[in-house]
Structure 1
Amino acid sequence: MTTDREHVPVSNILAMHLGLKEVPLLDENDRQGSGFYTVSEFREILQYAKERHVEVIPEIDVPGHAFSAIKAMQYREQDLRQFKSDGTRQSYILSDYVSGVQAQQGWLGSSINPCLNATYSFVETILTDLQSIYKGIEKLKLVHLGGDEVPDGVWENSKTRKSLLQDSSLDHSAIKKLFIVKVADIARRHGLKFSLWEDGIYNATQGPYDANEFKQTEVLVNAWNNIWEARIGHTFDGHPFIF
């Protein structure tokens, strides 16, 4: 039987639209307005979709479009210090520097830092939470992790980048690639297939990342910025894609 797919952005630059057990502060910006789903409400959507043969694909957009996640985790860290956490709760500080580089929407400090270990712990926690939300209704098979519209130079002056990445060849594109390959492997270890927006898998000067560099059997690419008539767009050699 044919199954349709519904792509659902769970996070964006301004808010997290789904309450998550391990990082509840992510949703505080959205609780006051529309567009927020409790876990119970989201599970109702999953059940409704399953009955109609629709697979719900959640998107957590990283490393760009993450202003709300960065700020929420900063506030969470303040709470941990204020209430003197016993140290059992994971820290998720996702940025150590706000550059003067604006994202396409004009935001500063909206990209999480691939040079911080907490970044990968954060992604792992989000995936674990999402899998638990799907459990008992339908197995989560595919997760979309964004990757789009990360402004050039946004990590250039990060202290962590400077201390860890002495190799001068590790420019913005190389750092983003390290991030994408690493989070793809995190998804693989969770038993999940993995998808990205087209510029998430693309080096502006060298073309698409080599599919052989991923431990995933495949990385699915969502094309969104291709205008064939104007010869504008990307190629995705070795990667399955969706237009």
Structure 2
Amino acid sequence: MRKKTLPLLALSSMLALGAQAAPAQAATTTWTVANPNADGSFTTSGPLTAKNAAGQTLFTCANIPLKGTMASRSTTYGQSLGKFTAHYQITCAAPDGKAWFGVLGTGIGPSYFKATAFNAATGTTTVTHLGNTPATPVYIFSEQNSNPDCAFFVMSVAGTYSNATSTLKTTSALTRIGTAEGQTPRCQGRLTEGETITFDGALKFNPAIKVTATTS
């Protein structure tokens, strides 16, 4: 009787160990976008102030008027919630009154905002705004003269989108300085290559778009 029981006990132990070793399924996040516009279009408006890492204000833009698309849908790919496709004139000014201007870096293609986290309690989505390719800037900013002392590319922007206010609040940006080979580096005393700057903007979306996420 004992000889028959031991193999059964051993088999039961093996099955129990196998059940414990089974890997847990990875959680899946589903992102849902609700845009009142049937074609997914939107525009933005609102101010932006850029400061270097030392806290010095580089310029302030009274309005960042962008156009883009963010279609109503549900997807598990948060990296493509929406995109900026064009802009109206972006005019800015330094504290000393010197004029600056900005453009979207859309020469190679649109720039995308990628969702990385969602806070259900506050209704906010953490986003990263990136160019069409790793080498494509999101924005290009420059002093407004024929030979500017300072001009730079914004390669990525971090921020949060709030459902309550339909506002994209930008917080920081990674920069590259536009200096031609063999020339004196631009933005001396103001920016260094690869510096992360404070990018304090509040871009209001029109219409009001709602973004939510569920994990299962």
Higher RCO (C-alpha 8 Å, min separation 6):
2
Instruction: Indicate the structure with greater helix content.
Output: 1
Report if TM-score (shorter chain) is over 0.5.
no
The interval holding the TM-score normalised by the smaller chain is: under 0.3
TM-score normalized with structure 2 length: 0.28
